[in-house]
Structure formats: structure tokens, C-alpha cells
Amino acid sequence: MKAVFIGGSRKVARLNERIRQRLGAIIERELRVYMGDAPGADKAVQQFFADRHYEHVIVYCVEGRYRNNVGHWPIRPVEPPPQARGFEYYASKDIQMAADASFGMMLWDGNSRGTLANIRNLLAHGKPVAVYLSPRREFQDLKRESDLDQLLSSVAGKDGESESRVAPHQAEVPPGRRRRRKSTAGSSPTVRSSESKQIAELQEETVAGPREIAEAE
């Protein structure tokens, strides 16, 4: 069964019709859903699936201690790195979901570094992402890092503030998993271009998840 990693910013706590349509398409196709336990987008999406009695959901939580599990679904405990705190502690489950899922759907407020890190990690694994940009109230389907570069340019402007916030966290993989490719943080344009081609090649082997989710719109 194909699996979608759904995540988002804490500020995106309400689901409009466009988001609900995409979530409804996931139910229609009986995709497995991997999601976290945070307040905000995670809890709102959990409530959507719980209200519709959707069973194909797994909630990832750090050390087996979940904050929200509205539908009482199975959980997957994730061990954080030793002495991890704060952002790094909770990001460990997101890194695992990006590795486990077939593709992603992210609800981003244009500012959250955690959601942006999830987008980067999915793309680094060669997995497409449907990104809902809440300030514009629209979805953009990203298949490679160059697509994200274009999105960041339009969101962050000339200073690239949003991109720089998560540069150290891109292309992370769970402990024990072999890294498919090196992180692009600090790479030259030439190196980034080459790595984008690698992602495009991996993309050919991956089902275009965002396109499947969008068919219901």
C-alpha cells in the first residue's frame, strides 16, 4: 500500500475546502497515512480522518509518547538522537516518516522551519510533495529540489531567509539507514544542479503521489 506523509505548520490549524478535497482523495484511494502528533496541522488532519472513521493511519511519536491521537490509531515510536532536545528531538519522527513514505503532503505557512525541513527531506529521497502554501491558499506540486528553489524565491524574496533557516537539516535520514545522497547545504550552483538531476532520475522510479491526490480537485 502506498503511503503519504502528511505534516504541516502549527499555525495551519483550520482546513479549508481545497485541503479537504485533497484529504478526501487520499481516502478514496485508500492510501496509508503517516503523520505526527503535534498541535496545529497534525491535529486538524487527524480530526478530519477520525470524523470519517478512516483506519489507514499510523501516528509517529517520539519514544512512544504521543501528544495527539484523535482516532486512537496505531503508533510508531521513534527514538531520538542521544541528548536531543527541542526541535531536534521532535524532528526525529519527521525524518523517519520522510524515509518511510512514498510521497508527501505538507501544509506550510511559509515560515515554519520544521515543515520546510520535511519538504527538503522528502525531495532529497526522490519523493514528490504536494505543498499547500497557506498565505496564497493554493497547492504546488514539487518533484525536485529546483521546484522548491522556485517556491522559496517567491516566498522569501531576495534575502532567502526561509531557506537559510533549515539548511543544516536538509537530506537527513534515520539512524541505521544508508544515505542516498549528500546534503546540498552550502553546495555550489553546479553541484546543486547535478544533484537535482539525480533526484529527477529517482523520481522516474517513484509514483507521482501529488498528481494522484490532486485528481479529486
The yes-or-no verdict on residue 156 having pLDDT over 70 is no
The whole-angstrom separation of Cα 206 and Cα 63 is: 30
The predicted structure's pLDDT at residue 85: 82
The predicted structure's pLDDT at residue 180: 45
Range name among 125-129, 144-148, 165-169 with the lowest pLDDT average = 165-169
Instruction: Please say whether the beta carbons of 25 and 216 come within 8 A.
Output: yes
The predicted structure's pLDDT at residue 157: 60
Mean pLDDT of the chain: 80
The whole-angstrom separation of Cα 187 and Cα 20 is: 38
CATH number of this structure's domain 3-214: 3.40.50
The yes-or-no verdict on residue 126 having pLDDT over 90 is yes
Q: pLDDT tens digits, residue range 39-53?
A: 999 999 999 999 999
Per the DSSP assignment, residues forming a β-bridge with 58 are 34
The yes-or-no verdict on residue 211 having pLDDT over 80 is no
The whole-angstrom separation of Cα 152 and Cα 10 is: 19
Instruction: Please say whether the beta carbons of 32 and 58 come within 8 A.
Output: yes
State percent of the chain over pLDDT 70: 71
Mean pLDDT, residues 118-147 taken together: 96
The predicted structure's pLDDT at residue 197: 42
The yes-or-no verdict on residue 110 having pLDDT over 50 is yes
Domain residue limits, the chain:
3-214
The yes-or-no verdict on residue 1 having pLDDT over 70 is yes
CA 59 to each of CA 32, 71, 199, 200, 204: distance values in angstroms, whole numbers, following the listed order: 11, 10, 28, 30, 29
> How many CB atoms are closer than 10 A to CB 217?
11
| 44 or 168: which leads in pLDDT | 44
- Residue 2's contacts (CB-CB under 8 Å, 6 or more residues apart) are 29, 31, 32, 102, 103, 207, 209
205: enclosing H helix or E strand: none
Per the DSSP assignment, residues forming a β-bridge with 139 are 132
The alpha-carbon radius of gyration of the chain (Å, integer) is 16
Q: pLDDT tens digits, residue range 80-102?
A: 888 878 888 888 999 999 999 99
Give the helix ranges, DSSP H, for the chain. 17-28, 41-51, 86-100, 113-124, 145-156, 161-165, 189-203, 209-214
The pTM of this model reads: 0.74
Most confident of 110-114, 156-160, 161-165: 110-114
The predicted structure's pLDDT at residue 158: 42
Per the DSSP assignment, residues forming a β-bridge with 140 are 131
